[in-house]
Amino acid sequence: MTQDSTYISNTDASSTHTANTANSVSFLGLGAMGYQMAKHLVPQFATVMVWNRDPSKARAHASQFGSKAVSLAEAVTADIIISCLPTSAIVAEIIAQALPHLQNSKSPSPRVWVDCTSGVPDSAKAAKRTLQPVNCQFLDAPVSGQTTGAEAGTLTLMVGGDSQALADARVAIDCFAGRVVHVGDTGAGFAVKAVNNTLFAINAWGAAEGLSVLKAHGVNPSAALDCINNASGQSFASAATLPQRIVNRSFPKTFTIDLMAKDCAIAIDLQRQQQVPTPVMAQVASLIRAASNQHAAGTADFSQFATFYEQMTGIVIKDD
């Protein structure tokens, strides 16, 4: 990874787009994030190809937003291919399936594969090596902003890889991004995302601990948050996750806890690779893994870490 980083910001993500006929685009993986991200491409491109493992979701997307449901073989003929899948291992499987089709439809100008998955830096480097011989560049471009940011098209993207490939892909990326930051070479985007989510987990776990102590002393969590969110203990977790998911006991399933556990594990692998002691990150990553293990994959929101913690304390983080 390089030390220098180029800051690129899209200040007007909502600007009116005119249809782009020079590039074709496809989106692979219409999950909680991808389904919403892909819809923002439709006003910008003459054709937006969408592929999903369960093809009924791609057909639903086509009828709801005017995209075109296609096979994987057809999707990877696009100039810009965007993926948003659960893990790097799944992306590697999809790339392996796509490779013969990329080879057959090798284009004279380089394609760009923009992977918006929250993935593993070493897997980004492997994907880059795999795709290079078929004249396809790879960018790791994970996103932050939750499903609400995907819906609004205001996501923050942290991008690793070649700057020309990023410039080529921005016509698509800008459709769903509010901010795009080129953080370094291949893998750097995934690294920043893993650390970001681990910091989020640390803040959320810490806020749950603090509110539990206060509740034990007779203070309602909402009253405490009203102070903390206007004081120095504030974080995104205290401002959004605690009041909107935990204290109100809604735990809406928009970002599953197994995906959060995966992100923390990636950060811990990075720490281990460079032998950087990170006792707090390691502890919280382990707690999130333990909380995630209480649920089958894909069945519980990240905020359910709080119900796991409540079993330790016997204190429910809600108002009396």
The footprint of ligand NDP (CB under 6 A) covers 29-34, 52-54, 57, 84-86, 90, 117-118, 143-144, 146-147, 254-255, 259, 298
Q: What is the secondary structure of 252-274 as a DSSP string?
A: --SSBHHHHHHHHHHHHHHHHHT
Alpha-carbon distance of 6 to 293, in angstroms, equals: 39
CB-nearer residue toward ligand NDP: 29 or 221: 29
Q: How far is the CB of 226 from ligand NDP (least distance, A)?
A: 26
- Which residue type sits at 125? K
- Which residue type sits at 207? A
Within a 10 A sphere around the Cβ of 163, how many other Cβ atoms? 13
β-bridge mates for residue 138, sequence order: 113
- In Å, what is the CA distance from 195 to each residue of 40, 87, 133, 277, 290? 27, 16, 31, 14, 19
Q: How far is the CB of 108 from ligand NDP (least distance, A)?
A: 29
Q: Under a CB-based contact definition with an 8 Å cutoff, are residues 75 and 101 in contact?
A: no
Q: How far is the CB of 263 from ligand NDP (least distance, A)?
A: 6
Q: Shortest CA distance to 246 belongs to which of 285, 220, 208, 203?
A: 208
CB-nearer residue toward ligand NDP: 45 or 176: 176
CB-nearer residue toward ligand NDP: 30 or 214: 30
Within a 10 A sphere around the Cβ of 151, how many other Cβ atoms? 17
Q: How far is the CB of 40 from ligand NDP (least distance, A)?
A: 15
CB-nearer residue toward ligand NDP: 86 or 184: 86
Q: How far is the CB of 165 from ligand NDP (least distance, A)?
A: 20
CB-nearer residue toward ligand NDP: 175 or 224: 175
Q: How far is the CB of 259 from ligand NDP (least distance, A)?
A: 4
Q: How far is the CB of 258 from ligand NDP (least distance, A)?
A: 9
Alpha-carbon distance of 160 to 140, in angstroms, equals: 5
Q: Under a CB-based contact definition with an 8 Å cutoff, are residues 37 and 67 in contact?
A: no
CB-nearer residue toward ligand NDP: 84 or 177: 84
CB-nearer residue toward ligand NDP: 84 or 102: 84
Alpha-carbon distance of 30 to 48, in angstroms, equals: 13
CB-nearer residue toward ligand NDP: 9 or 97: 97
Which residue is closest to ligand NDP by CB?
31
What 173-177 contacts at long range (C-beta under 8 Å, 24+ apart), as own/partner pairs, is 173/82, 173/114, 173/141, 174/10, 174/13, 175/13, 175/17, 175/40, 175/41, 175/43, 175/44, 176/13, 176/36, 176/37, 176/40, 176/41, 176/143, 176/150, 177/10, 177/13, 177/143, 177/153
Q: How far is the CB of 58 from ligand NDP (least distance, A)?
A: 9
